[in-house]
Amino acid sequence: MNSTFNLYAKYYDLLYKDKDYERESEYIIKLIDKFRPDSETILDLGSGTGRHDLILAEKGYDVTGIEISEIMSKEAERNKKNIRSDRKVKFVNGDIRNTRLHEKFDIVISLFHVMSYQISNKDLTKTFATAESHLKDDGIFIFDFWYGPAVLTERPESRVKYLENEEIKIERHAEPFLKINENTVDVKYTVKIEEKTEGKNNEITEIHSMRYFFIPELKLILNQLNMGIMHFEEWMTGNKLSDESWYALVIAGKRS
C-alpha cells in the first residue's frame, strides 16, 4: 500500500486537479450541521494531500489528518503553507488501522473511497476501531465507499484519462477486473508520464484493489464495535441509495 501510494502521490494532485474539493467540503459541512451541529474538531482518516482538510480549516474547523504515504503527507504539509485560516491543522504520517492520537474529535471523516481500500474484514474492522476510538461519545463518523449494488449492476469499465500541466503530460489507462467472490475490483492503472522539459518518458503500472460494500455488512461490523449507522445516502446528491449509486456515504455514531 505504502509504495503504491508513494508513486501515485507525485501525480495525484494533477490527476485530481478537476476534482471539486470545495463543493465536496461544503457537502460535508452541510451534513455536519445537520447531524452534529456546533462541531469544531475533525479527524480525517487517509487524508492524502490534505485538500479537504485545508478547506475545512478555512471554514472554521480544527483539522488533523492521518495518512500512510510519506510523500502525500509531505505534500499536505506543503499545501498547508498557503492556508488562509488560523485554525489548527496537523498532518500525521501513520496507518489508520492502528494509529492512536489519544485525542477525541467531534467528527471523523474518511473521504474519496479510503474505506474501499480496506479490502479485508480485518483491515476494515481495525480502521473502524480507529474511528471509534477517536470519536467523542456524541461524535459522528462520515465516510464514502463503492456501493455494491451499483458496482454489480453497472459493472466497472476501462477508462482513459489525459492530463497536462507545464511540466508533465499524463495518459492513464484504468483496466478493472471484478473479483466476484471477494467483493473487490482490481483496477490496473498504466500511467504514461512525459516530462516535458527533459523529454523523458516514464511508465508506471500499479494495481489498486477496491472493495465494494453493502449496508448490512457495514452495520454488522460497526455494531460489533458498538457503533451504529445513523444515515446513508448517495454521495453528493443526497439521493436515496439505489443500484445506480456507485458512490455511497454513511454516517455512523457510537451507541449509547
Ligand X SMILES: C[S@@+](CC[C@H](N)C(=O)[O-])C[C@H]1O[C@@H](n2cnc3c(N)ncnc32)[C@H](O)[C@@H]1O
Applying CB under 6 A, the residues found at the interface with ligand X are: 1, 5, 46-48, 51-52, 66-69, 72, 95-97, 111-114, 117
List C-alpha distances in Å: 44 to 97, 107, 109, 115, 141. Answer: 13, 9, 5, 12, 10
What minimum distance in Å lies between the beta carbon of 213 and ligand X? 15
Q: Which of 93, 99, 95, 109 is nearest to 36 (CA)?
A: 109
Q: Which is nearer to ligand X, 39 or 69 (CB)?
A: 69
What minimum distance in Å lies between the beta carbon of 256 and ligand X? 29
Q: Which of 111, 145, 106, 105 is nearest to 28 (CA)?
A: 111
Place of cell 471509534: 132
What minimum distance in Å lies between the beta carbon of 39 and ligand X? 19
**What would the grid cell of residue 150 be?**
451499483
What minimum distance in Å lies between the beta carbon of 16 and ligand X? 7
Q: Which is nearer to ligand X, 74 or 194 (CB)?
A: 74
Q: CA 45 to CA 115: how far, in whole Å?
A: 9
Q: Which neighbouring-strand residues pair with 186?
A: 177, 209
What minimum distance in Å lies between the beta carbon of 24 and ligand X? 8
Q: Which is nearer to ligand X, 56 or 66 (CB)?
A: 66
Residue nearest to ligand X (CB): 48
Place of cell 494495481: 207
What minimum distance in Å lies between the beta carbon of 48 and ligand X? 3
Q: Which is nearer to ligand X, 97 or 211 (CB)?
A: 97
Q: Which is nearer to ligand X, 95 or 233 (CB)?
A: 95
